[in-house]
Amino acid sequence: MAAVQTGSELFEQRWSTYDRILAGNHLFHRELYAELRKYLRATFTEPIEVLDLGCGDCHYLAEQLVVDGEVCLIASFTGVDLAAGALEAARENIRKALRQGTPTHFANSDIVKFVADSPQRFDLAFASYSVHHLTLEQKDQLVQHLAKALKPGGVYFQADWKFLPQEGKDDISRHARECDLPETLDTWRSLAYKHGFSSCTILDTHPHPDTGFCLVMQK
pLDDT per residue of the chain (219 residues) written in tens, 0 to 9: 444 444 445 444 555 555 555 555 555 566 777 777 788 888 888 899 999 999 988 887 887 777 656 677 899 999 999 888 889 899 999 988 888 899 999 999 999 999 999 999 999 999 977 887 789 999 999 999 999 999 999 999 987 645 444 443 444 445 444 545 567 788 989 999 999 999 998 876 555 555 566 789 999
Give the per-residue pLDDT at 90. 93
Where residue 32 falls (left for φ over 0; alpha for ψ -120 to 50; beta otherwise) is alpha
Q: Which of 17, 73, 11 is nearest to 42 (CA)?
A: 73
Domain boundaries, given as residue ranges, for the chain: 30-218
Give the per-residue pLDDT at 165. 45
The DSSP annotation for 37-63 comes to: HHHHHHH-SS-EEEEEET-TT-HHHHH
Give the per-residue pLDDT at 150. 98
DSSP E strand boundaries for the chain? 48-53, 66-67, 70-71, 74-81, 104-108, 122-128, 150-161, 199-203, 212-218
Element (H, E) at 113: helix 111-117
Give the per-residue pLDDT at 208. 53
Give the per-residue pLDDT at 45. 85
Using only C-alpha atoms, the chain has a radius of gyration, in whole angstroms, of 16
pTM over 0.85: no
**Fold adopted by 30-218:** Rossmann fold (3.40.50)
Angle (deg, nearest 10), helices 7-23 and 84-95: 50
